Amino acid sequence: MKSPNHISLESVREEPVSFSFELPFSLKALDREPLLELSRVSLAGTIRRIERGFALEARCAFRGQLECSRCLAAYPFSVEEPFALLLYERAPGVGDVREIGRDELDVSLYEGTELDVAPIAEERVQMAIPMKPLCREECLGLCPQCGQDRNVRRCECVAAAADPRWGALEAVRDATKSQKV
Ligand SMILES: [Zn+2]
Ligand SMILES: [Zn+2]
């Protein structure tokens, strides 16, 4: 039985062949902590023969929810990116992708006549998830002392922190107050 997530390489002859897939991934299988939700991953493009292999050009699109590494809030993200991949058959003489990979191009090895597109899509997803996701660049995060989300409200802990600059500021403020009285 043919798997639905495969491209038959034998069907690729003179002309490029178009393909379009909608791939479901489980969060468990992806195993990336900040990823809270993921849509189906759409992978669409063309594949054509090149010398000793195939060239794949595709667009990968998906969206979901990530957890901000500073404030722990869930926020939506979406990715739609074009990419290109060279595919060479895994052969006894070709042990390492780096031997044949030209630096600027992604290279992958395949075996047999059916190309499984799931690992290709998964790699795009893995690369798109940041190590430290941020809901926004200037996210203030949670207060390490009281846990208050500082994007929502400033807590009082800041003044109590052992930062001499705050002490100096207080002194100035007190001085101003007493002058007014
Ligand atoms: Zn945040
Ligand atoms: Zn606080």
Q: What would the 3-class secondary structure string for the chain be?
A: CCCCCEEEHHHCCCCCEEEEEEECCCHHHHCCCCEEEECCEEEEEEEEEECCEEEEEEEEEEEEEEECCCCCCEEEEEEEEEEEEEEEECCCCCCCHHHHCCCCCEEEEECCCEEECHHHHHHHHHHHCCCCCCCCCCCCCECCCCCCECCCCCCCHHHHCCCHHHHHHHHHHHHHHHHHC
Separation of CA 68 and ligand 1 centre (Å) = 5
- Quick one: pLDDT at residue 157? 87
pLDDT > 70: what percent of the chain? 78
Backbone angles phi, psi at 146, to 5 degrees: -110, -10
90 close to 113: Cβ distance less than 8 angstroms: no
Average pLDDT, the chain: 86
Residue 32, pLDDT above cutoff 80: yes
| Mean pLDDT computed over 153-175 | 67
Classify strands 106-110 and 6-8 as parallel, antiparallel or unpaired: unpaired
* Residues around the ion ligand 2 (C-beta < 5 A): 143, 145-146, 148, 155, 157
CA 111, 116, 118, 122: dihedral to nearest 10 degrees? 30
CA of 67 to the centre of ligand 1 (A): 8
pLDDT in tens, 114-153: 999 999 999 999 999 999 999 999 999 999 999 999 999 9
Task: For Cα atoms 158, 163, 164, give the angle at the middle one, nearest 5 degrees.
Answer: 130
pLDDT per position as a tens digit, 37-69: 999 999 999 999 998 899 999 999 999 999 999
Q: How many angstroms separate the alpha carbon of residue 68 from the centre of ligand 2? A: 18
How does pLDDT run across 4-16, given as a tens digit for each residue?
899 999 999 989 9
Rounded to the nearest whole angstrom, what is the distance from the C-alpha of residue 143 to the centroid of ligand 2? 5
> Contact, 166 vs 158, CB < 8 A?
yes
Alpha carbon distance 140, 178 (integer Å): 33
Q: Does residue 181 carry a pLDDT above 50?
A: no
pTM exceeds 0.75, yes or no: yes
CB 30, CB 125: distance < 8 Å: yes
Q: What is the pLDDT of residue 4?
A: 82
